[in-house]
Amino acid sequence: MPKKHLKNWKDELNVCIRCAYCFEGCPVFKVTGWETDTARGKIILAYGVLDGELEPSQYIADKLFQCTYCRDCSERCSANVPVVDVLAAARADLIEAGFASETHKGMVKNVKETGNIFGDKEIKAPVQKGETLVYVGCQYLARPNQTKMYLKILEKLGVKPRVVDEICCGYPLYALGFRKEFEEHKKKFLDLFPEKEMVALCPTCTAFMHEEYKKDVKHITQFILEHLPEKNLGLKATYHDPCDLSRVMNITEEPREILKKLGIEIIEMPHNRKTSQCCGGGGGILMSDGKLSDDIALLRIKEAIATGAPLLITPCPTCEQVLKKAAAAVSEKGDGTIQVKNLSDVVWKAVK
């Protein structure tokens, strides 16, 4: 198997001291209990492939793709191993060696043909002429009501949003290892968005455009906070930090400040901010292993229910989706109830 991507990370693979600090926060390991599902286990597998001790196989491919890219491991790693970068490189080599799943190949086809991960030609951005460029992203494009709500919020706050007929940011192509397809898509994206500054709705799009495209991108929560007046909604809620927003963008206080401005009492979960537990929706797992994604989401929603808060708020559409499903499953079993809402819902309630 060609190892042109992974070989660039050999030094980083050697840095891992096998300490197992990464075990504690790994959402996949919490569900499966297998060391091969931890960052340490994946690093060992990747090193074995790179060193020629292990032959690439479907088993190894499955394990290296069984990761939500939550970066909890990197946050805990005493050796600062860039686990997600290493895994992305390993995935790229595996894709080029023919280990792409049909599900992931289908997603790539969708992006190529329709510009979004869902393959839906009817999904279109609500094009608007304005001054502040707003990038919607695939997940919010598939939720037009929430997208319109965010745009109306900006208008209520005196901001004139500009929205173009956009395409996927390219993160799924990159994260899943389709490098050739990503480079082709990247050119199209940068041609469409030459601007350095923009506001993005989706946490993952925000983080990816910041890291990969070096754009000066603000997440919508940062932008709303700058313009939001105070209001007293008199609610109690717990807040779920999306992984990319907290661990990549270091945006943890802005959403909380928004909630405080709206008179919402925040009841924190034990795992919050940089230690927030993943919802289970990232890294491609939601589309390739729905059961694993559901099981991870159940762990998080049970932690939320244990706070006693009647409401969970998050600004991430994927987190909202999987946590709503988990909340319904727990409620059906009679093990507790909690309502899951997007941040846009509560902000709109305050400004409309």
Return the domain boundaries, the chain: 6-96, 132-224, 229-351
Structure token digits, residue 184: 């082709």
- Predicted local distance difference test score (pLDDT) of residue 74: 92
- The strand pairing partners of 313, in sequence order, are 239, 341
- Predicted local distance difference test score (pLDDT) of residue 287: 86
CATH second-level architecture of 229-351?
3-Layer(aba) Sandwich (3.40)
What distance lies between CA 30 and its chain's CA centroid? 19
- Predicted local distance difference test score (pLDDT) of residue 1: 61
Given 3-state DSSP classes, what are the helix, strand and coil percentages for the chain, each rounded to the nearest 5? 55, 10, 35
- The strand pairing partners of 238, in sequence order, are 312
Q: Is 317 exposed, middle or buried (0-12, 13-18, 19+ CB in 10 A)?
A: buried
Neighbour count for residue 1 (Cβ, 10 Å): 15
Check if CATH label 3.30.1460 holds for domain 132-224.
no
- Predicted local distance difference test score (pLDDT) of residue 2: 61
Check if CATH label 1.10.1060.10 holds for domain 6-96.
yes
pTM for this model (two decimals):
0.93
Q: Do domains 132-224 and 229-351 have the same CATH topology?
A: yes
The residue assigned the tokens 């060992």 is: 44
> In which residue ranges of the chain is pLDDT below 70?
1-2
- Predicted local distance difference test score (pLDDT) of residue 98: 92
Structure token digits, residue 192: 């469409």
Please write down the long-range contacts of 21-25, taking CB distance under 8 Å and 24 or more positions apart.
Answer: 21/76, 21/77, 21/78, 22/72, 22/73, 22/76, 22/77, 22/83, 24/76, 25/70, 25/72, 25/73, 25/75, 25/76, 25/271, 25/275, 25/277
- Predicted local distance difference test score (pLDDT) of residue 187: 96
